[in-house]
Each structure stands twice: as structure tokens, then as C-alpha cells.
Structure 1
Amino acid sequence: METSYWNRNFILILIGNALLFMVYNMQVPVLPLYGKKLGLTPGQIGIFVGAIMFAALVTRLFVPWFSERFSKKILLMVGIFLYLLAAVGYPLLGSFGLLVLLRLFNGLGHGLTTTYFATSAADELPHQKIGEGMGYFGIGTMVTASLAPLLALAVVQHYSFQAFFLTCIGILAAALVAILGTTAKPRRVQNAVKAPVFDRQFLPQCGLVFILGILMSGVMTFTPIYAQLRHLTAISGFFFVAAIAGVVIRPIVGRTFDQRGPRLILMLSTGLLLIGVILIAVVTSNWLLIIAGIFYGVADGAIYPTLQAWLFKVTTIDNRDTATGMFLNAYDLGMGLGAVSLGWLVEGVTYQGMFWVLALVSLGYIGVALRASRSTNQLD
């Protein structure tokens, strides 16, 4: 009889991950507005927001070294503490240089937590349930992400940015408590040959998630400001319906992946992503912004977990940390480069022009996704 993966460790890891990503998603709509309030230019806002991704990328280059010397529980605790350090510093340090420095510390924590939350959850799952289990793992993230923009913008609008950062600190403390309650698994004895930080067999998934990161960075970083310039008030609703759509679609996506592999899901979801980006580019009303959020949310809720589950299907336990580090680095590199380059692009072609560029990238993404998965059918 198959043992359920719904054990204490998996549940606490899911909760800790969900709380951490709640803070991340609370910062998505607020930090650009915070930067604008401080007088930063669009290019500076892009650097401020995107710096977290570059620091996370560098951190993950040391994943094999970390895994040899520390338990995943310890690494998760350190990562959450670095998130806490940044949250304390944001309201205290107002200069551009110091904010970027704090964002880099935030990125060190982001690199550790995103890597080891995902691999810790995967370690609790039977191989034949990877798609389903990671789908439910992602639901925890999406549920809190659905609440994050509503809570974040409400706190900022009714109280202050300082109250917002205090809220982040409280949520991160709860995530730390959740991880303290887990049982650390013994570190595996490594083979004589160290696992590499780069492996060509993971390039299809990493290439696809890199492009996804560019697209997501444009939507998440600049939609709040674009909506504000268009005198729209439904930006929190946009992120809310996007997260709800992601929650609804993930169990369906997980089961479909386990049965049919990634190709069908990628074909449909990349098309929906294109529609969502076009709707943002032409948005003229709150209702149209909400509809765009639904398309964007379904696409985001389908593409990312499909690529992640596909990655775990082609890895072994020994190279899982390396694969996850590569995958998340590719995503964060896309997010970081996207935020910075698109911020500069805005200064030349306006916000609407930037979203039309993203629509062209989305169109090309459909073809790239189908090509990368063309030889992939049912995965054993």
C-alpha cells in the first residue's frame, strides 16, 4: 500500500514556503510604488527590484557546496533570516545604493529558500506522484499569493509603507517557526565526483523558464505603475484573480502532466499568456485589467509548475539540488535581466510600448515551448 506524502514535514515545508512567497508577492506591487515615492527613475526601480534575482543566482552556484556541509533545514532558516534582515532595513534606508544593497541580501535569502523549499518538498514525494505533489505544493504558494496584493496594498493605502514592512516581518517570523518544526533529514554522502552546477540535460526546462522569467518580471514590476498612470484602481484585483486562477488550474495541470507529459499543457498555456499580455497592453478599464489577470494567472499557474515537474522527472536524487539550482537560476536571471532591461526600455518607448514588446516575446515563446517539448510525450 502506497504511503501518503501528506506527512508533517511536507505540510510544514508547504506552509513555510507559502508564507515566504506571500512576502515575496506582497513586495511585487509595493516595492515599485515605494521606489517611485522615493523618487527613483523607472531604470532605477528596475535595478532595485531586479537585484534580488542576481544575488539569488550567485547563491545557487554554491548549491552543491552547501548541500555537502549543511542540512536543508539549516539552509532554509538562514535564508528566511536574510529575508527578515532586508525587510527590517527597507524602511530605514532610503538611498538608492543602500536599497539595492538590501535587495542583494534579500536575494541571498531568496536563492537559499527557493532552492531548498522546492527540493525539500520533492524529497517527500514518491517519483510517480511528482507532478501531483508539486502541484499541491504550488497551491500553497498561490493561495497566499492571492491574498498578498490585497493585504499589501490595503496596508500601504490605509496605514503606511512602514506598517507594510512590519507586516512582512511578522509573516517571515511565522515561516521561520514552521521550518523549526520540521525534522531535518540526514545529509547524503556525496559521490567522489562532485555534482556540477551546470548540466546540459536540463537546458530545455531552464531555457523555457528563463524566457518565462523575462515575461513575468515585466508584468509584475511594471503593471502596478502602468495601471496607476492609466487611472485604474484594480491592480490589487489583477493580482488577486491571477493568483486564484493559478490555484484553480494547478491540480488539473499536475494530474495532466502525470498522465500526458508537458507538451499539451505548454501549448495551451503559452497561448493564454500571449492573450493576457496583449490585454494589459491595451487595457482601458478595471474590468479589462481583471480579465487580463485571469489569463495571466492561468498561464503562470500552468507553465512554471509544469516545467518544474518536468525537471524533477528527468533528474535523479543525487543531481536534484543541481537541477533545481540551474532551474531557479534561469528563472531569476530572466526576472532580473527583464526588470532591468525593461525598465530602460520604458524610458525609450513608454510603458505601453514595453508591454507590446512583451507581447511579441510571448508570441515567440509559443514556438520555443513547442519546439523544446516536441519529442516529449508521456514521461515514465
Structure 2
Amino acid sequence: MANTSYWNRNFILILIGNALLFMVYNMQVPVLPLYGKKLGLTPSQIGIFVGAIMFAALVTRLFVPWFSGKFSKKVLLVVGILLYLVASIGYPLLGSFGLLVLLRLFNGLGHGITTTYFATSAADELPHQKIGEGMGYFGIGTMVTASLAPLLALAVVHQYGFTAFFMTCIGVLAASMVTILGTTPHRHETVKTATKAPVFDLKFLPQCSLVFILGVLMSGVMTFTPIYAQVRHLSAISGFFFVAAIAGVVIRPIVGHTFDRRGPRLILLLSTVLLTLGMLLIAWVNHNWLLLLAGVFYGVADGAIYPTLQAWIFKVTTIENRDTATGMFLNSYDLGMGLGAVVLGSVVELVSYQGMFLVLAVVSLLYIGLAMVMSRAKA
């Protein structure tokens, strides 16, 4: 099969639709903590508000086997994007903590559905021997829009306010919907009446454990770096997310080819070391250029670890069980993101923002050893 055979209309539309959805997600990452702060929420409340999306996504993915047996991926993606739209419409209209958390839960339902079925729809278009390469390119779409998202989001908020920001999110989500409506069901997708794999399978423990801890680490960076930059009187927070996304875009094709040839071990070693360095830089940052350098390290690590673990889990499962395996993988990541946002919000109140990032640096250091133990067996 030719190397570019998976570049068909379906794969391109799925890539674009996923990229646009994640653009909204990454637009909200730096803005929602600021929005919560403007409304008078405490750091713990901000952590709960931001992290609620992950808990809702986790619960939603427990029903992936049932969803897959009843509905096509296209229908499920449309429903997921609609739930994202409901939340984005409601955020500027409802200002109380309880109602905001409720909207975030609706957002999480959509997030759980879309992240599962965008990934598996893309994997359906890929030959098995090109899983690493194809998912690497699939992730580039996410990283490209992620590089633009913080710049666009913060610029809109500063110039026009939060209401205009949420209207922008609605427009981007509508564009994502259009791309999905243009796709056709893949030949692998049939009505499934056979028993699906269990919701949790120990075969996927290495990938799920590693991506869970990655989620905890990422939640600390994405939720609290914008506020920490304000505390440190730094103005380069948009640049931080921009260079991180660019670094992720650059590294992903290299990571994909390396994974297909050598498996996950070397990639995980180098990227976890960079992740630790990035956390240390954020903890001690006192100049904008150090914040940007931390963004590069963080971006390379995130752009290498996540797609490597995702490609690895696709390598060890079957086509029939991809939906379930993907649900487990994403649930592990989102559980880490959700718990991380809540727990780390409390850590901030105990030891300050800098202390919280030093804790993350220690966790990252331990993560290096765990990654080496878990990746002993080749994919």
C-alpha cells in the first residue's frame, strides 16, 4: 500500500473537523480560568469548573461499546459537537458557579464522544503498518489549530470581551460540524451485535497508566500557567502556548516515523526528560524568554508522548475493539486532567503556584523511570 494511500477525502475531513473542535478546546484552556477569576471564583472552584469536563467525558466513554453498537460514528460526532455548542452558548449567559459546572459537564459529554470517535474514525482510514505515521499527521491538525487558539482567544477577550470570545467558539464549532456532515461511513463500520471488549482491559495498562499521569501534568500547565504568568508579571503567555504548539507540530512527523520503526521506548525516554526540564523552567520562570523556552520543552514533550501512547494502543488492539480501547485510553487521560485540575487547585492554595509547579517537576522526574519500565516490551 502506498505511503499516502490514506490521504483520502474522509481522512482529510476528519482531520479538519477534529482540528477545529480542538481549536475550541484550546481556546477555552487559557480563557476559562481567567473567566472564572473575573466572576470571583476561588482557585479551587476554578479547578473544579475547568476539570468537570474531564469527569463527564470519562463517564460518557464508559458507554462507548453501547454507542458503537447502536449508532454510526458520523451520528455520534454530530451529537458530540452539538453538546459542545450548547455549553459554549451557555457560558456567557450563566454566571453562577453551580450552573457553570453544569454547562462544563454538558461540554464533557460532547468531549467524550467527539474525542473517541474522531480518533477511531481517523484510525479506520490507516493501514496497520502506518498507524504511527498516520496518527502523527492526524495530530498535526490539532497542534496547528492549538498554536493559533491561545493567540486568537486572548486577543478576542482583550479587545472585545468574553461574550465575543464565546461567539467565536460557536462559529468554529459550526465549521467542525460542516466537515463531519461531509464524511461517509468507512467500510469497516458495520452494525455490531457481537460482545465488545470489557470497559477496562489489563492489556492496555501501560498506555493508560502513562497517559493518566500525563493528563495530571498537562492539567497543571494548561489550567494554572496563565494565572501564574500574571502573578509573575509576565506577558508572554500567548507566546508560551504558541511556541508549544509549533514545537508539537514539528516533532510529530519525526515521532510517527520513529515509532513505526523502533517502538515507543526511545521516544518516551527523550520526551519525558524534556517534560521535566519544562516543569522546572515554569516553576522558576522570571523572564518572558524563559517562559517561551519552557513552552518549547513542554510542546515537544506533549507532541511526542501523547501520540506515541495513542499509536501504541492502536498497535496492540484489533479493528473491532478500537472504540473500546480508545475510550479507555482517553478516559485515563481525562481522569488525569480532571483530578489534576481539582487536586492541583488545592495544592496552589497550600503551597502557592510556584510550589505546585515544583511538585509537578518532581512527578515528571518520577515519570521518566515509570515510562522506561512500562515500555520495556516493544509495540
Which category describes the TM-score, using the shorter chain as reference length? over 0.9
Q: Secondary structure of the residue that 1:258 maps to in structure 2?
A: helix
Offset, 1:227: 0.3
Query: Is 1:138–2:146 an aligned residue pair?
Result: no
Q: Is the 8 A contact 1:214 1:339 kept in 2?
A: yes
Offset, 1:191: 5.6
User: Among 352, 374, 377, which residue is 2:376 paired with?
Assistant: 374
Distance in 1 between residues matched to 2:94 and 2:196, nearest whole Å: 41
Offset, 1:196: 1.4
Query: Is 1:256–2:220 an aligned residue pair?
Result: no
Offset, 1:374: 1.4
Distance in 2 between residues matched to 1:194 and 1:366, nearest whole Å: 34
Q: Is the 8 A contact 2:196 2:321 kept in 1?
A: no
- Aligned residue runs from structure 1 range 51-62, under 5 A: 51-62=52-63
Offset, 1:188: 2.5
Q: Is the 8 A contact 1:224 1:235 kept in 2?
A: yes
Distance in 2 between residues matched to 1:258 and 1:270, nearest whole Å: 19
1:287 aligns to what? 289
The two structures have a TM-score, normalised by structure 2, of 0.98
1:350 aligns to what? 352
The one-letter code sitting in structure 2 at the alignment partner of 1:262 is P
The one-letter code sitting in structure 2 at the alignment partner of 1:24 is Y
CA deviations over 1:257-316 (Å, ceiling 9, x no partner):
000000000000000000000000000011100000000000000000000000000010
Distance in 2 between residues matched to 1:103 and 1:231, nearest whole Å: 29
Query: Is 1:204–2:206 an aligned residue pair?
Result: yes
- Aligned residue runs from structure 1 range 71-220, under 5 A: 71-185=72-186, 187-190=189-192, 192-220=194-222
Offset, 1:189: 4.2
Offset, 1:250: 0.1
Q: Secondary structure of the residue that 1:214 maps to in structure 2?
A: helix
Offset, 1:58: 0.2
Distance in 1 between residues matched to 2:191 and 2:166, nearest whole Å: 41
Distance in 2 between residues matched to 1:192 and 1:20, nearest whole Å: 31
Distance in 2 between residues matched to 1:298 and 1:113, nearest whole Å: 25
The one-letter code sitting in structure 2 at the alignment partner of 1:140 is G
The one-letter code sitting in structure 2 at the alignment partner of 1:36 is K
The aligned length equals 377
Q: Secondary structure of the residue that 2:320 maps to in structure 1?
A: coil
1:45 aligns to what? 46
Distance in 1 between residues matched to 2:194 and 2:208, nearest whole Å: 26
Q: Is the 8 A contact 1:71 1:185 kept in 2?
A: no
Q: Secondary structure of the residue that 1:31 maps to in structure 2?
A: helix
Distance in 2 between residues matched to 1:102 and 1:192, nearest whole Å: 35
Distance in 1 between residues matched to 2:113 and 2:75, nearest whole Å: 10
Distance in 1 between residues matched to 2:282 and 2:261, nearest whole Å: 33
CA deviations over 1:323-379 (Å, ceiling 9, x no partner):
000000000000000000000111111000000000010000000000000122xx4
Distance in 1 between residues matched to 2:346 and 2:132, nearest whole Å: 38
1:223 aligns to what? 225
Q: Is the 8 A contact 2:88 2:166 kept in 1?
A: yes
Q: Closer, same or farther in 2 for the Cα pair 1:307/1:207, shift >3 Å?
A: same
Q: Is the 8 A contact 1:86 1:102 kept in 2?
A: yes
Q: Is the 8 A contact 1:246 1:301 kept in 2?
A: yes
Distance in 2 between residues matched to 1:12 and 1:48, nearest whole Å: 32
Distance in 1 between residues matched to 2:305 and 2:186, nearest whole Å: 30
Offset, 1:192: 3.6
Q: Is the 8 A contact 1:64 1:194 kept in 2?
A: yes
2:325 aligns to what? 323
1:309 aligns to what? 311
The two structures have a TM-score, normalised by structure 1, of 0.98
Q: Is the 8 A contact 2:273 2:368 kept in 1?
A: yes
Deviates more, 1:32-41 or 1:1-10: 1-10
**RMSD of the TM alignment (CA)?**
0.9
Q: Is the 8 A contact 2:124 2:186 kept in 1?
A: no
Q: Is the 8 A contact 2:123 2:135 kept in 1?
A: yes
